[in-house]
Structure 1
Amino acid sequence: MLEQVFRDEWGRVLAGLVGFLGDFDLAEDAAQEAFAIAAQRWPRDGWPANPGAWLTITARNRAIDRLRRDRRLAEKTRLLEVPEAVEDEMEETGFPDERLELIFTCCHPSLALEAQVALTLRALGGLTTEEIARAFLVPEETMKRRLSRAKRKIRDAGIPFAIPAEHVLPQRLAAVLAVVYLVFNEGYGGRVDLAAGAIRLGAALAELMPDEPEVHGLNALMLLDDARRDARFADGELVLLADQDRSRWDTAKTAQGREALDRALALRGRGAYVVQAAIASLHMEERRDWPEIAGLYGELVRQTGSPVVELNRAIAVAEVDGPETGLALVDRLDLDGYQYFHSTRADLLRRLDRADEARKEYERALELAHTEPERRFLQRRLASVGA
């Protein structure tokens, strides 16, 4: 239970400290110290009525104490004007929620994308440096240096701890959503902590920006996709959506996802994340409405111009008009280095009884596959069209 509270409160506490101190490293150190003190005191003395306020005040006090000990108050004179909190103030609730400012700071366009992702996971997702390093398959020391460089750049470049001006907000929000979705996709293949971290970030964004339909759309998309996580694999083998055991889908997440989608639609959302969430919701119906799915993919192609989206539209069109029509759409795409282009083309050729061509496409997809479950799945498909 302590770990869950810490996960839930980390982003809020750190955001308040960064805004208060103007120093990422000092804020992190103070937050960690406050959480360590809580882990000792709460089980012994009882839980405070407002854990977030308790942690924030304790962390502020520790930061001020450290500044005084380090004799750097001349550089931080504004902290002298802040009265030191005492124990009987621990239940104060009047702290602003500055997570939104922190999200936009972490996702500032002057930072490299990999730094934006790592810093967002650390600052708002509550993941440790070790967890982030493991997720991106790099040594912990490498990730530590990457995070340090990002925080140093924020400090040295004077990147503001603020929500962007209204005229640039849509562009900056799109970048934030892209980072959160990238985090989710990194976790969707099996890293539950990354996917959960992205979903927490999505929930925070929905809470902080309740009038932005694309925020609710992204939230819905992640929840609906993650609801099927336990059914995607059986005994270590990849299971296609049509063959999944629906009883293993998370009904609570499905309901939350559809509720978020309803909110996005009520706000007249028609952006890419809202459309993708609508497609995900239709895919979870007992009988899939393929014409509707194909139409939504067509809208998504118009919005994004993505050949990968066009590939997905071709799959839906094949369900409506037959594999030959779907194959004609696939053959117009230039996606030779993309695994799913070849596996899709192979499946359509198999359905058209063009076994020799299907075999070559499955072999190419197998060359490009990244995970063992995908390789085994493709090997079974390859065997199904003959040696």
Structure 2
Amino acid sequence: MEKAKISTTQLFVLVVLFEMGSAILVGIAADAKQDAWMAILLGLSGGIMIFLVYHRLYIYYPDLPLTSYVQEITGKWLGRLIGLLYIVYFIYLAARVLRDFGELLTTTIYNSTPLFVINSLMIITIIYAIHKGFEVLARVGEIYFGVVYLTAILGMMLITFSGLIHLGNLKPILENGLKPVIKTFLSQTINFPFGEMVVFTMLLPFINDKKKAKIVCLSGMILSGINITITVVVNISVLGVDLFRRSNFPLLTTIGRIQIADFIERLDVLFMLYLVIGGFFKIAIYYYAAVAGAADIFQISNQRKLGFPIGMIVLFASINIASNYAEHIKEGLVIVPTYLHWPFQIIIPCVLLIIAFFRNRTKKKSPS
């Protein structure tokens, strides 16, 4: 592991930027229609419970990342295999998010630019950032956190002053009962974005105040969950349920409708900055977890040697992951949650915790 240390504030910022990353970009929980906000809040509650599993594992092994303590729990060879699978999982998710933001840019302002060029520029920037070290990424996060929030507040004010919000679009509440909300919660929102906190099992050893890891991460999850819920409520209020479900990028469609005094309009390009910053940090964190995990599994002392090769894998995977955006979205909503998210975010960590509990039951309990 890199000898990095980050403050509680930096961890909080990274959690918020990571969680909001691509969740504010796509039409999250759209299957629940006007009750999407309920599915998101349920997902937040489930995500918090899952994170408590990750945190309990962290208490047992406070100085080790996931790829190391899985070897302590299950044995060297099985642990290395599970760790390797997690590395592939992180690379795959980094590629998915990179594709999301590449599609965003190529379908809006760079519609004559090949997807490969856009994705290459993004991944090269991320490779450079990670090469400078995780502490540098955390400090940059502190700077951009303010930019993201100022942009979000400005956007909310402009949407409100434009008179675009019609809260009647949120009715009738529970038109089809709780079933669609529960189904969306179990198939989407518990995993995306809240279950994705599994990546922080690779990063928690870096925090300089270990006793505050739990409250910091939970605070970041709650804040980002509230922000995502507000974003979805605004999108549905402005666009209506049908357009919200059909739009590839609902937030961008909402921002594009801002028009004040025939003067302030076409602000979607400005808010691209907000979305790209979130995407940058989400990809960077997944990518860093993959690099650090690979260095740990293969016992490579200088993990920077792995930066460029893994970056290239992420880049080419993002291009070849699906033949078009519709296929990419379908894969993300139908296949990935069942066959990847549930095993890697919920099932494996819970099994690891049970084994770790019995292995450590005679040891003195660490303070939580």
TM-score, normalised to structure 2, is 0.23
Looking at CA atoms only, which structure, 1 or 2, has the larger radius of gyration?
1
TM-score, normalised to structure 1, is 0.22
